[in-house]
């Protein structure tokens, strides 16, 4: 199971790289960011496919998407100077809280 979480972390990082490169790809007309988008999503989905063999898909997706949302928002502060307002910070806090609740209190099982 620890290996599954390492693969999930790789999937999250790859997705964040892909998503963070979307704006810079300029509608897929800028080669390097476009390759980062395609490669990031490809790598992410490859590792997600492995992760769901060991971690229930609901838990996997909650962690992957929630962590991705928060990390992309934080990266957009640095790269694109997009400053979150109170509602955005609150939303990110709720996303993190939701991930924690699902992981700590959920008995979701199955594959």
Which stretch of 10-14, 44-48, 105-109 has the lowest confidence by average pLDDT?
105-109
DSSP 1: -
Using a 10 angstrom Cβ sphere, with 0-12 exposed, 13-18 middle and 19 or more buried, the burial of residue 68 is: buried
pTM of the model: 0.88
First-last CA distance in the chain = 13
DSSP 23: T
Question: What pLDDT digit, counting tens, does each position of 62-85 carry?
Answer: 999 999 999 999 999 999 999 999
Q: Which two tokens stand for residue 36?
A: 């980062």
Using a 10 angstrom Cβ sphere, with 0-12 exposed, 13-18 middle and 19 or more buried, the burial of residue 66 is: buried
1 band by pLDDT with thresholds 50, 70 and 90:
low
The CA R_g of the chain, rounded to the nearest whole Å, is 15
The Cα angle at residue 30 between residues 24 and 35, in degrees rounded to 5? 85
Domain boundaries, the chain: 2-105
109 band by pLDDT with thresholds 50, 70 and 90:
low
């Amino acid at each position: 199971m620890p290996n599954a979480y390492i693969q999930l972390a790789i999937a999250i990082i790859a997705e964040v790289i892909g998503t963070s490169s979307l704006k810079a790809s300029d509608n897929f007309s800028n080669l390097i960011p476009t390759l980062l988008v395609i490669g990031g999503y490809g790598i992410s989905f490859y590792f997600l496919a492995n992760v769901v063999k060991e971690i229930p898909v609901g838990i996997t997706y909650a962690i992957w998407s929630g962590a991705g949302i928060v990390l992309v928002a934080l990266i957009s502060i640095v790269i694109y100077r997009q400053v979150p307002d109170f509602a955005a910070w609150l939303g990110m806090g709720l996303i993190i809280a939701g991930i924690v609740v699902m992981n700590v209190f959920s008995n979701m099982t199955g594959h």
